[in-house]
Amino acid sequence: MKSLKRRRYADRAAHWVITLGGTATVLVILALFIFIFLEVYPLLQDARITKETTHSVHGKVISMGVDDHQEVAYIIYNNGVIEFISLKSGALLKKHHVSGLDGSVITSADKDHDRLVLATNDGKIFTISISFSESFAGDSRAVTPEVHEEKNVKASKLKAGILNVTSRGDDSTDVTAVYTNDGHLILIASETGKTPLDNEGKKEFQKDITGLLVEHSLNQNTASVPCLLQTEGVERREKAKTGMQTTENSTGDLTEQRTGAEITSLALDLFMENLYIGTSSGDVFHINVRDRENPYLVEKVKVSECAVTALGFLLGDVSLVVGDASGGVNVWMQVRDDRSSWGWALKKVHILRSHKAPVIAVAPSMRDKGFLTAATDGTIYLNHATSEQTLLRFKTGSTPVALAFSPKANGIFVADTNNRLFQWRIFNPHPEITVKTLFGRVWYEGYEKPEFVWQSTGGTDDFEPKLSLVPLIFGTIKGTLYTLVIAVPIGIFAALYTSQFLHNSLKIIKPVIEIMAALPSVILGFLAGLWLAPLMERLFPAIIIMPFFITLSIGIALVVWKYLPVIGKGWYRHGTEVLVLIPFIIGAIVVSIQLGGVFETNILRGDYREWFSSVLGLKYDQRNAVVVGIAMGFAVIPLIFTISEDAMSNVPKSLISASLALGATPWQTAVRVILPTASPGIFSAIMIGFGRAVGETMIVLMATGNTPIMEWNLFNGFRALSANIAVEIPEAPFGGTLYRVLFLASLLLFVTTFIVNTLAETVRRRMRLKYNKL
C-alpha cells in the first residue's frame, strides 16, 4: 500500500516537473521572441515632428543655420546683418555686420557646411564662415558663435548684379559660378599653390561660360513649355533681391516669362568639377569645370516638362535633387553609360512625392541621404532618397524664404514671408528602412542599376548604407542547400546500411559517428578554412576526376567480389563486405591525385582557374560553397544519421520478414518497405539537419569569404544571416539602424526555424498515421 502511494506521489511529481519544464521552455521561447521583436519594432515606427518655438525676424532672410545642440541659431539678412539668437529664450546674443557691402543688397547665398558665399546686386561676392564653440561652467553649457570673414574677400569684376551663386572650396582652391541679371554665366576660380621659389602663390581668374549654353539653344523661345512659372505683379530683378534663398543654393528668376529660357538654379559639387545648371525650359546642363580655364559642356538633359526651380546635392554631392515648377521632386545621378561620349550619363534614379505647388528650395541633411523640399504654398516635405519615401509633410502658412536642417538632422528651421522663424524637432532614427530597401532592388549611388546589396559601413561620412537582406537570405539558402546535398544522401544511406546490412560486430560505428556531433563548430570552421580550403585548391584538378575513378574502382571491386572463389569469400562474415571496398577507394583517390596534374595540363590548359574563367565564366575562390558544404555536412551528417538509423531500426520486424518471405531481396525490402515505413523519422532527421545548417555560424564565418553576393556558383563564397550577425554586431552602434536590422535578421531566422519545424512536425504526424496502419 505504501509503495503504491509512493508511486502515485512520484507520478504526480514527475507530471508537475515535466509540465513546468515544458511550460518554462515555451515561456522562454516566447520571451525571446518578444525581446527580439521589441528591438526590431522601432524600424516600423514613422517619423514624428514636434513644433518647438516661433521667433520673429527683422528683415528679408537670405540664409540661416543652427549649432549642433539647437541652442543658438544664426540668421543672415539681405542687408548683410547676421543675428545670433537663443532658441530657448529668443534673446539676441550677438549681431555681426558683413564688412564691405557699402549699401549693397545680398541677393543669393550658397552654404557648404560652415562656409557661406554671399552675392550682391552689384556683383560683389563675399565668403564667410560661421562656427560655434562650447564652454562649460559646472553642469551648464555655453555656446559661443564666431564669424570669420576671409581676409582677401573682394568684389568680383562683374558689371551686373548676381541672381544665383554656387560655390565650393577647400584649403587651396575656391570655385564659384554666378548667374547675372544681364544673362551671363560666369566661372570664378582661385587656386593657391607652391611657386618654384616655395612661396605661396595665388592664381585668380574669371571666365564667361555663357557661350557653352547658347550653343545648345538656351536662348530659344520657350513658349511651348506648358508650366513655366508666372507670378503677376512681381518684377524679375525685385524677386532676385528679396526672394527665396536656401541654405544650399538660390533659385533664380522664375517669375517673368521671357523670350529665352533662363537659368533658374545652379549647383556645384564638392569636387569642384561638375557644375549643373537648371533652366526654365526644364533642361539641366552639365559643365565640367575641372580645367578652370577650359570648361566644356558634357551633356544637356531634359529633366522636366516644366521649369527647373531648385537644384541641390545630397550628402556626398553624388545625387542631385531636382525640383520643378509642377511640384515634382526627383533625384538624378551620374551613371556609367557606354553610349555616352565620356562614359557617364545623368539619369533619374529616385522619384519622390510631388508638391502641389512649385518647388523653391532644397536643403540636404548632413547625416544621411535625407533632404527637405519647400514649395510656394508653404508645404515642406522631409524626404529620403534611398528609401524613396516622404517621411513628414507640414505647412508654415505662408511661402518659405529660408530652409535649414540642424547638423544632427533632428531639427528643421524655416523662415517665411511673414517674418517668422519656425523651429521643429523631429524624431527620425531609421529613415532608410522600408520593405523595399530590405527586400527589394534599390538604385544606390555608384551603381549602374537597382540591385540587392548589403554593405553596412564605408570609409567616409557620406557613405550610403546598403542594408538589403536578400543577399544574406540567398547566402543562407545556398549554404544550407549545398550542405544538405552532401549530408542527406550520406546520412540516410549510411543509416540504412548500418541498420539493415552491417554486421553487429561493426555497429560500433554508430557511436563513433554520434561523437562527431559533439565536435565544436569553431573547430570544424577552423579546419575548413585553414586546412581543407587550401588543400582543395591545390588538388582541385584531382578532385574533378576523383568521382570517375572512385566509381570505376567500385565497379572493379564488384567484379572481383563476384568472381572471387567461395573459399576467399569465407573469410568475411555477412555484413562486412563493405571492407572490401576500402582499399579500392583508397587506390582510386591515390590515382586521381597522381593524374590530377596531367589532367590539368592537357585538358584544363595548364591552369584550371583560367580555364574556369574563360570557358565556364566561373571564378574560383579558395573559400567557397563546396568547402562550406563539406564542413557543415560533417556537422549535420551525425544528426541525420542517428535519427534516421533509429527510425529504420524501429521498423517492425514482422514487416521485414513478410517482405522477405514473399520473395523480395534485402535491398528491395530496404527500399520499398523500410524506407517508406521509417519516412516520418527520416523526414524529422532532414528537418533537424536543415535547422542546424540554417543556424550555423562559425563554420560559415570561417570557411567562406563572407562576401554578400548572389551567385549559385559552387566555387565562390557567400554570407549567411547568422554569420552576418556575428560579423556586424560588435561594430553596430547600440540602438542604431544597423543594430536593429541585425535583430531583424535574427527574427527572420527565429521565425523561419519555427515555421519549418512546425510544418515538419505536421507532415511527420500525418506520415506516421499513414504508415502506422501497415
Same domain, 420 and 495: no
Same domain, 498 and 410: no
Query: Under the phi-then-psi rule, with left for phi > 0, alpha for psi from -120 to 50, and beta for the rest, what region is 18?
Result: alpha
Q: In a 10 Å sphere around its CB, with 0-12 CB exposed, 13-18 middle and 19+ buried, how is residue 712 labelled?
A: exposed
pLDDT given for residue 240 in this prediction: 39
Say if 16 falls within a structural domain. Answer: no
Query: Under the phi-then-psi rule, with left for phi > 0, alpha for psi from -120 to 50, and beta for the rest, what region is 560?
Result: alpha
- Count of the separate structural domains present in the chain: 2
Same domain, 472 and 419: no
Say if 7 falls within a structural domain. Answer: no
Say if 181 falls within a structural domain. Answer: yes
| The model's pTM | 0.87
Q: Which of 6-20, 496-510, 559-573 has the lowest mean pLDDT?
A: 559-573
The proportion of the chain whose per-residue pLDDT surpasses 70, expressed as a percent, equals: 89
Same domain, 420 and 473: no
Integer CA distances (angstroms), 666 to 3, 576, 657, 659, 669, in order: 49, 15, 10, 9, 5
**What are the tens digits of pLDDT across the range 412-434?**
999 999 999 999 999 999 999 99
pLDDT given for residue 532 in this prediction: 92
pLDDT given for residue 761 in this prediction: 81
**Average pLDDT in the 709-734 region?**
91
Same domain, 537 and 407: no
* Boundary residue ending a domain (388, 417, 450): 450
Question: Residue 287 belongs to a domain with what CATH number?
Answer: 2.130.10.10
**Average pLDDT in the 306-315 region?**
94
Residue 274, strand partner residues: 288
Say if 493 falls within a structural domain. Answer: yes
pLDDT given for residue 193 in this prediction: 61
pLDDT given for residue 773 in this prediction: 62
**Average pLDDT in the 218-227 region?**
47
Same domain, 402 and 512: no
pLDDT given for residue 341 in this prediction: 78
pLDDT given for residue 546 in this prediction: 92
- Mean pLDDT computed over every residue of the chain: 85
Give the whole-angstrom CA distance, residue 123 versus residue 121.
6
- 359, 390 contact by CB (below 8 A): no
Same domain, 71 and 182: yes
Q: If you average pLDDT over each of 207-221, 314-328, 643-657, which comes out highest? A: 314-328
| More reliable by pLDDT, 247 or 67 | 67
pLDDT given for residue 200 in this prediction: 54
**Average pLDDT in the 498-513 region?**
82
Give the whole-angstrom CA distance, residue 465 versus residue 699.
27
Say if 484 falls within a structural domain. Answer: yes
pLDDT given for residue 340 in this prediction: 79
Same domain, 377 and 483: no
* Longest CA pairwise span in the chain (Å): 120
Same domain, 131 and 246: yes
Q: If you average pLDDT over each of 233-237, 261-265, 350-354, 696-700, which comes out highest? A: 350-354
**Average pLDDT in the 153-170 region?**
77
- Confidence class for position 194, pLDDT limits 50, 70, 90: low
pLDDT given for residue 252 in this prediction: 35
pLDDT given for residue 166 in this prediction: 94
**What are the tens digits of pLDDT across the range 552-590?**
998 998 888 777 665 555 566 666 677 778 889 999 999
**What are the tens digits of pLDDT across the range 33-49?**
999 999 999 999 999 99
Say if 10 falls within a structural domain. Answer: no
- Confidence class for position 516, pLDDT limits 50, 70, 90: confident
pLDDT given for residue 245 in this prediction: 39
Going by C-alpha positions, the residue among 345, 150, 360, 113 that lies closest to residue 239 is: 360
Give the whole-angstrom CA distance, residue 32 versus residue 754.
13
Q: Which domain holds residue 234?
A: 51-430+444-450
The total number of residues written for the chain in this structure: 774
Q: How many CA atoms lie within 13 A of 104 on its CB side?
A: 22
pLDDT given for residue 335 in this prediction: 93
Q: Which three cell numbers stand for residue 432?
A: 532608410
Say if 64 falls within a structural domain. Answer: yes
Same domain, 224 and 98: yes
- Confidence class for position 247, pLDDT limits 50, 70, 90: very low
H/E run at residue 658: helix 653-661
pLDDT given for residue 567 in this prediction: 55
Q: Which residues contact 462 (CB under 8 A, 6 or more apart)?
A: 315, 316, 317, 318
**Average pLDDT in the 147-166 region?**
74
Question: Residue 656 belongs to a domain with what CATH number?
Answer: 1.10.3720.10
Same domain, 413 and 500: no
Taking the CA atoms of residue 599, residue 603, residue 604 and residue 606 in that order, the dihedral angle to the nearest 10 degrees is: 70
Same domain, 250 and 394: yes
Q: Which three cell numbers stand for residue 407?
A: 547638423
pLDDT given for residue 140 in this prediction: 84
Say if 17 falls within a structural domain. Answer: no
